[in-house]
Amino acid sequence: MLNLKNNRAKIIKPMNTNYKLIELAKEKGFNAKAKTEIVGYVGQHELLYYLWLCELKKWLNDEKNIIVSSNHYEYACKQDNGWRYTIGTSIKTDFSSGKYKTYEEALEEGIYETLKLIKI
C-alpha cells in the first residue's frame, strides 16, 4: 500500500493539459477509480496518471460511444512523422489532428478535445 503522506514528491508543472483534463473529465461526469489527487507528482505517480488516462479512454468508449486513439504516422517527408489522435465512433472517424512527440501526448490531447465536445 502506498502511503502518500510520507512519499509525496514536489508538485511539478502539469504536463500539457493534465490538470485541465482532470477537471474537465469530472465536469463531464467521469468518476475515476484511479486516484486523481496524486496526478502531477513526479516518479511512480506518473504511472497512476497514465492508468487514470486509460480508464478515462475506456469510459468514453463504454459510456459515450466515442473512440479516441493515438496512432503513429510515417510519411516520405520525415519531418511530418509523429503521433496523431483520432476521435470517432465504431462506425467512422470524425476528427483527426495534431502532431505529437509521444503516444501519451497525442492521447491526452485527443481525450481533452473529445471532452470539450460532450454536452452535459
pLDDT digits (tens, 9 = 90+) for 76-98: 777 778 888 888 887 666 767 77
CATH class of the region 9-117: alpha beta
The set of cell numbers assigned to 11 is 508538485
Helices (H) and strands (E) counted in the chain, each on its own, are: 4, 3
Looking at the predicted structure, is the pLDDT value of residue 50 above 70? yes
- What does the alpha-carbon distance between residue 21 and residue 27 come to, in Å, rounded to a whole number? 10
Residue 99 host element (H or E) = strand 93-100
- Domain ranges for the chain: 9-117
